[in-house]
């Protein structure tokens, strides 16, 4: 049994991690921390977990208790993992970080986008970007895993086949992405209130979103050269879900794109390439660790449209973190994650 610790378990990614691990036959949550909720039983804060974590309560972070775990998940705001990850790694504990702390390999670039100096640049050389569809073999040997963000997951999985095959013009990529309000986190914010977000839709951070350098980093590696990306996120009045509509110009219109995508993801348990002409819906992946993709070439031209949908809290965060856990510990990658999405 894998002994698990969770730092910062009171947010949406934290409770989603608890929900998924409750179904995992090889993982046991031994420690869960929250400074603000220390002493509160997990089941009292999240009644959906009653009967699964009876006796488990939030505690103040203690490095010795966390270091006694086999693996520690960080479900925290950026900057928190910087302070604790090094100590845990030195003790031999694996770290899976759901925050943005180790996603970017350039510490200066990270500081530019997150408004503070990187707190542990010496650990970046050890950090493996946890997108299994790209880095599965590196994840198996990792000490420190940086779980990708939600927008980056949907966007990279949609663009990868085109860029890896050298088909897309890398200088003219467009990602038009929509997210449910849970992507903003559990903290109180006026923009996330139901009366503010309901029956409305808006773009935001058009000048530059924090996920832009992460997406660009991944696409640059896939293309093997510099890329030009326009990324525009939108807030939509739903709780869960990412819908990414991706545009790229292809240099060879004779290639069967449906076959290309099907071949690229044929052995990926959590990427579903839908039949030609499909339009994946976010509700089809709600609660599931699945990315559904459809590829279109409108009017048979050189512009390709890729539709990519995920649940931002599952394949976009906690589910992908558990997928990394399974790979890291040599388990079946689907363990604890094989359930279908929720409908209606």
Predicted pLDDT of residue 323: 98
pLDDT of residue 231: 98
Q: What confidence tier does 251 reach under pLDDT thresholds 50, 70, 90?
A: very high
Instruction: State pLDDT tens for residues 124-183.
Output: 999 999 999 999 999 999 999 999 999 999 999 999 999 999 999 999 999 999 999 998
Element (H, E) at 129: strand 127-129
What's the rounded mean pLDDT across residues 234-238?
95
CB-CB neighbours of 143 under 10 Å:
16
DSSP 4-28: EEEESTTSHHHHHHHHHHTT-TTEE
Q: Where are the alpha helices (DSSP H) in 105-193?
A: 107-114, 132-140, 150-164
Predicted confidence at residue 189, as pLDDT, reads 79
Phi-psi region of 203 (alpha: psi -120 to 50; beta: other; left: phi over 0): beta
Q: Are 323 and 253 in contact (CB under 8 A)?
A: no
Q: Which DSSP string do the residues of 81-127 spell out, in sequence order? A: HHHHHHHHHHTT-EEEE-SSTTT-S-HHHHHHHHTS--S-GGGGGGE
pLDDT of residue 188: 63
pLDDT digits (tens, 9 = 90+) for 40-65: 999 999 999 999 999 999 999 999 99
Tens-place pLDDT, residues 283-338: 999 999 999 999 999 999 999 999 999 999 999 999 999 999 999 999 999 999 99
Give the CA radius of gyration of the chain.
20
Helix and strand numbers (H, E) in the chain are: 11, 14
Higher pLDDT: 15 or 190? It is: 15
- Look up tokens 């094989």; give the residue: 338
187 by DSSP, 3-state: which? coil
How high is the pLDDT of residue 70? 98
Q: What is the mean pLDDT of residues 230-253?
A: 96
Write down the pTM of the prediction: 0.97
- Structural domains in the chain plus CATH codes: 2-129 (3.40.50.720), 151-312 (3.30.360.10)
Is 177 a residue of the active site? no
Considering 69, 150, 177, 291, which one is annotated as catalytic?
Answer: 150
């Amino acid at each position: 049994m894998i002994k698990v610790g969770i730092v910062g378990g009171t947010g949406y990614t934290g409770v989603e991690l608890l929900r998924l691990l409750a179904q995992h036959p090889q993982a046991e949550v031994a420690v869960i921390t929250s400074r603000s909720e220390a002493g509160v039983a997990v089941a009292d804060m999240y009644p959906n977990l009653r009967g699964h974590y009876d006796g488990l309560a939030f505690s103040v972070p203690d490095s010795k208790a966390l270091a006694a775990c086999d693996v520690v998940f960080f479900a925290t705001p950026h900057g928190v993992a910087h302070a604790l990850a090094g100590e845990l790694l030195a003790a031999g504990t694996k770290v899976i970080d759901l925050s943005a702390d180790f996603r970017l390999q350039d510490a200066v670039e990270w500081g530019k986008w997150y408004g503070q100096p990187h707190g542990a640049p010496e650990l970046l050389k050890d950090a493996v970007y946890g997108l299994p569809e790209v880095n599965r073999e590196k994840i198996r040997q990792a000490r420190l895993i940086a779980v990708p963000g939600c927008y980056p997951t949907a966007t990279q999985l949609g663009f990868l086949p085109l860029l890896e095959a050298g088909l897309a013009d890398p200088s003219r990529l467009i990602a038009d992405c929509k997210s449910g309000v849970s992507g903003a986190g559990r903290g109180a914010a006026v923009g996330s209130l139901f009366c503010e977000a309901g029956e409305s839709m808006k773009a935001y951070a058009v000048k530059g979103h924090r996920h832009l350098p992460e997406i660009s980093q991944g696409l640059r590696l896939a293309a093997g050269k510099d890329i030009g990306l326009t990324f525009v996120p939108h807030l939509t009045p739903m709780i869960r879900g990412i819908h990414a509509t991706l545009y790229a110009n292809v240099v060879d219109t004779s290639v069967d794109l449906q076959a290309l995508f099907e071949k690229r993801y044929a052995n990926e348990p959590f990427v579903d390439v839908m039949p030609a002409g499909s339009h994946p819906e976010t509700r089809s992946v709600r609660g599931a660790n699945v990315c559904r993709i459809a590829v279109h070439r409108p009017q048979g031209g050189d512009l390709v449209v890729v539709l990519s949908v995920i649940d931002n809290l599952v394949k976009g965060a906690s589910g992908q973190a558990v997928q990394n856990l399974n790979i890291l510990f040599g388990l079946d990658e689907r363990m604890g994650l094989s359930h279908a999405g929720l409908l209606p």
